[in-house]
Amino acid sequence: MKTIDASNMHYRDLNAVVDAESLKEKNLIIKNVYGQRYIGRGLSCGIKMSVYGVAGNDMASYMNGAELEVFGNAQDALGNTMNGGKVVVHGNAGDTLGYAMRGGQIYVEGNVGYRVGIHMKEYNDMKPIIVVGGKAGDFLGEYMAGGVILVLGLNLDKDEDIIGRFCATGMHGGVIYLREKQDPYKFGKEASKVKLEDSDISFLKKQIGVYSKEFNKDLKHININSFSKYLAINKNPYANMYCVY
Amino acid sequence: MSLNFDFPDFEVVRNEKNCNKCKVCVLECSNKVHFYDENKKTLNVNNSKCVNCHRCVVLCPLKALTIKKYPLEFKENSNWTSRAIKEIYKQSQRGEVLLSSMGTSNKFPVYWDKMLLNASQVTNPSIDPLREPMETKVIIGRKPEKLEFNSKGKLVTEIPPQVELNIPIMFSAMSYGSISKNAHEALARASSELGICYNTGEGGLNKDFYKYGKNTIVQVASGRFGVHKEYLNAGAAIEIKIGQGAKPGIGGHLPGRKVGKDVSSTRMIPIGSDAISPSPHHDIYSIEDLRQLIFSLKEVTEYKKPIFVKIAAVHNAPSIASGIVRAGADAIVVDGFRGGTGAAPTRVRDNVGIPIEFALAAIDQRLREEGIRNHISLLVSGTIRNSADIVKATALGADAVCIGTAALIALGCHMCQSCTTGKCNWGIATQEPDLVKRLNPDMMYKKLVNLILAWNNEIQEMLGGMGINAIDSLRGNRLMLRGIDLNEKELEILGLKYAGQ
């Protein structure tokens, strides 16, 4: 276990220290993080890192298998083009979380911003998962091409919605699970609600289990059957739009 | 719909006297224009399917075929041309967006042809490149403000990462998916032999081509296809694609039918899935955001790779270029509106953007005025048709050029502009295995090598004629150019004197 003090460090220096230390030590702690960017970028399998403070933009970008745990909030673009690994955020996270994410899992205890899971994709056994404890902003799962987004909608006020508008606009792959049914007007025309299958139920149970364990929460009150599932209507949504000239 | 007003664009003419019915034309045409009638024992054509790619004409052993423009004319009308009418017929048939390939076919001025080069006479003698040293190597990347040395004469200034090009030419970004694997292999091997670079486009890097890494520019675009740490570290530089000359403001879309097993594994998306690159990068809404992406790429490559940013030439390109320099990029690639593409909405291709000559001159001028031209390399593309265009681009301020269409023509492209169909008879813009194997990379990469070496010799001759022995000395030297058939405003933007001045 190695502790790095990030106070007054530029991100370039901090990340260079993390690179150097991760060669010697697989368990790292970074204390006093104040928005430094790119923490854990490209970090490989076998490394576990705890981050205390506010993680800056592009945390875990291109990450390749490491495990990060943030005790605080994360800013924008967490998990940008992430290839594998796991990120747990004990707080909220910002916009474009999981942009073009191709593998791994991101668990956010609280809320997330706009355009979360945009252009998420999957390939063979790489199937990224984003689990959000609270609510998500507009354009959730925009251009989504693969993977899974699950929004639990915990601890919301009566007038708060679990998602914003334009959810799943341009979706052409992947799955979105939302707790409780949502008004159709909030969705792009490319997604449709489908029935929950047994495999969905077991997936949801498993992920809710992971969430409650990671954040130490009792979620027994959640009714699995209250979830709704959304899929892309078409894998090739624009196939008939063009003629060759 | 029963009544279709459309009619063929071309007519296939068979000289029956020469034809021995060998049926090579039937075998070779992926569009199924030629077909054999077993009962009547005749070879027939369906003109409607012909795209005028010349495959049958070139391969016909007895040269019995020609292709002509379809002779049907409308009543002459300068406003309602045949093309305007046919476009309406097509769009009213099924309500579709017109999609075109390669660069615009509309008649716009080509300003390269309105610039003339200088040569030495009597004073400042010309140089003979056949017998005297002549440097055409360029080094692409951010250059430091000044160089500092310690007391022992050792350089202490940290030099940002650079890419060396033996010849100031790169192959433009063309993805595996839009073009075939064999075409990519030809580009990669030619680059390797020439000491220049080709560009993956947004299609990922096939595992078979990692060995050409030091001659590869890897691209990151809005869809992030095939982008991961190993890919980013595999090339000589990384290019962030913001836009493309043929379709400024428009993203990309590789239809699922072109995503076979190998394209799927290179792009890391499921087989048959559409590969949609959104129009913007959704993490870039400002110069500051661009800086964030540039530095995320620098971070993940340990600051060892130059980062290029490619934009389409648009109205306010100079201010954008200034922003790109300040965002920390190492090179700007500007693609003019006559540039090629695998597919673009026709209206966008033919109406959006500005010519590369103006964009180049304006950007170079703006960066000089701001005192930041030396911070960055400037690469241009979008109808670089020959070596003279390259020399003129250099004199206007370019560090190097990128060629796409010219390279494809060397590989056998016949400019039928039908790439979107995926049925390229020359094995270039197709993923169908039977068509792909028509392009033999062992043979065709040499054509690219020949072309670039020929152009390099020509560049040296033109430089020598001007009394210049290194292309670096020509860069931005607009006194070596004169304008012809240009108005005052055009001369002003290009920064040129008129011929005779």
**pLDDT tens figures, B21-60:** 999 999 999 999 999 999 999 999 999 999 999 999 999 9
Q: Which residue of B has its CA nearest to A56?
A: B292
Name the domain count of chain A: 1
Start and end residues for every CATH 3.20.20.70 domain found in chain B: 115-148+155-498
Task: Name which of B352, B351, B350, B376 is nearest B363 in CA terms.
Answer: B376
Query: Which residues of chain B are within 8 Å of residue A236 when distances are taken between CB atoms?
Result: 255-256, 272-274
Tell me: pLDDT of A99 over 70: yes
**pLDDT tens figures, A1-11:** 899 999 999 99
Q: Which residue of A has its CA nearest to B293?
A: A58
Q: Do B228 and A81 touch (CB under 8 A)?
A: yes
Residue A162 lies in a domain: yes
Low-confidence ranges of chain B (pLDDT < 50): none
**pLDDT tens figures, A167-188:** 999 999 999 999 987 788 899 8
Residue A152 lies in a domain: yes
Q: Write down the CATH number for the domain with range B115-148+155-498.
A: 3.20.20.70
Query: Which residues of chain B are within 8 Å of residue A15 when distances are taken between CB atoms?
Result: 299
> What's the burial of B71, exposed, middle or buried (CB within 10 Å: 0-12/13-18/19+)?
exposed
Whether the CB-CB separation of B428 and B179 falls below 8 Å is answered with yes
Q: Which residue of A has its CA nearest to B93?
A: A243
Whether the CB-CB separation of A94 and A78 falls below 8 Å is answered with yes
Helical (H) or strand (E) element with B187:
helix B181-194
Helices (H), chain A: 11-24, 198-214
Residue A164 lies in a domain: yes
Query: Which residues of chain A are within 8 Å of residue B269 when distances are taken between CB atoms?
Result: 121-123, 145-146
Q: Which residue of B has its CA nearest to A76?
A: B283
Task: Name which of B231, B261, B229 is nearest B431 in CA terms.
Answer: B261
Q: Which of B99, B253, B278 is nearest residue A119 as measured by Cβ atoms?
A: B278
- Name every residue in B having a CB less than 8 A away from some CB of A: 87, 90-91, 93-94, 96-100, 222-224, 227-229, 232, 253, 255-256, 264-265, 268-270, 272-274, 276, 278, 282-283, 292, 295-296, 299-300, 302, 343, 345-346, 418, 420-421
Q: Give DSSP secondary structure letters for A68-123.
A: EEEES-B-TTTTTT--EEEEEESS-B-TTTTTT--SSEEEESS---TTTTTT---B
A74/A143 Cα distance (integer angstroms): 23
φ, ψ of residue B257 in degrees (nearest 5): -65, -20
Q: Which of A15, A143, A245 is nearest residue B100 as measured by Cβ atoms?
A: A245
Q: Do A38 and B299 touch (CB under 8 A)?
A: yes
Q: How many CB pairs under 8 A join A and B?
A: 130
Residue A34 lies in a domain: no
**Which amino acid is residue A112, in one-letter code?**
V
Query: Which residues of chain A are within 8 Å of residue B91 when distances are taken between CB atoms?
Result: 243
Q: Which residue of B has its CA nearest to A244?
A: B99
Structural domain containing residue A132: 92-232
Query: Which residues of chain B are within 8 Å of residue A11 when distances are taken between CB atoms?
Result: 299
Whether the CB-CB separation of B327 and B287 falls below 8 Å is answered with yes
Q: Which of B93, B270, B346 is nearest residue A146 as measured by Cβ atoms?
A: B270
B143/B151 Cα distance (integer angstroms): 22
Give residue B154's pLDDT: 96
Q: Which CATH number fits domain B10-96: 3.30.565.10, 3.40.640.10, 3.30.70.20, 3.40.50.2300?
A: 3.30.70.20
Residue A134 lies in a domain: yes
Nearest CA distance, A119 vs chain B (angstrom): 7
Q: Which two tokens stand for residue B64?
A: 């019995």
Give residue B450's pLDDT: 98
Q: Do A143 and B253 touch (CB under 8 A)?
A: no
Q: Give how far Cα A84 sits from Cα of A41, A81, A100, A103, A126, Å.
A: 11, 9, 12, 4, 8
CATH no. for residue A191? 2.160.20.60
Nearest CA distance, A80 vs chain B (angstrom): 9
Nearest CA distance, B311 vs chain A (angstrom): 21
Q: Which of B282, B296, B420 is nearest residue A96 as measured by Cβ atoms?
A: B282
Query: Which residues of chain B are within 8 Å of residue A61 when distances are taken between CB atoms?
Result: 296, 299-300
Whether the CB-CB separation of A154 and A216 falls below 8 Å is answered with no
Our measurement of the distance from residue A44's CA atom to the centroid of its chain's CA atoms, rounded to an integer in Å, reads: 18
Give residue B1's pLDDT: 53
Nearest CA distance, B11 vs chain A (angstrom): 17
Query: Which residues of chain B are within 8 Å of residue A80 when distances are taken between CB atoms?
Result: 283, 296
Task: Name which of B385, B336, B376 is nearest B357 in CA terms.
Answer: B336
For an interface test with B, the pick among A14, A43, A61, A62 (most B C-beta atoms closer than 10 Å) comes out as A62
Task: Name which of B285, B290, B277 is nearest B221 in CA terms.
Answer: B277
Long-range residue pairs from B38-43, CB within 8 A, at least 24 positions apart, any chain: B43/B14, B43/B19
Q: Which of B256, B283, B295 is nearest residue A80 as measured by Cβ atoms?
A: B283
Whether the CB-CB separation of B418 and B49 falls below 8 Å is answered with no
Q: Which residue of A has its CA nearest to B87?
A: A245
Task: Name which of B273, B246, B424 is nearest B345 in CA terms.
Answer: B246
Query: Which residues of chain B are within 8 Å of residue A62 when distances are taken between CB atoms?
Result: 227-229, 232, 296, 300
Nearest CA distance, B426 vs chain A (angstrom): 18
**pLDDT tens figures, A113-130:** 999 999 999 999 999 999
Start and end residues for every CATH 3.30.70.20 domain found in chain B: 10-96
Tell me: pLDDT of A54 over 70: yes
| Average model confidence (pLDDT) across chain A | 94
Q: Do B295 and A37 touch (CB under 8 A)?
A: yes
Q: Which two tokens stand for residue B124?
A: 């400042």
Q: Do A143 and B276 touch (CB under 8 A)?
A: yes
Q: Do A83 and B228 touch (CB under 8 A)?
A: yes
**pLDDT tens figures, B87-107:** 999 999 889 999 999 999 999
B289/B283 Cα distance (integer angstroms): 7
Pairing of strands A27-34, A48-54: parallel
Q: Which of A100, A119, A244 is nearest residue B420 as measured by Cβ atoms?
A: A244
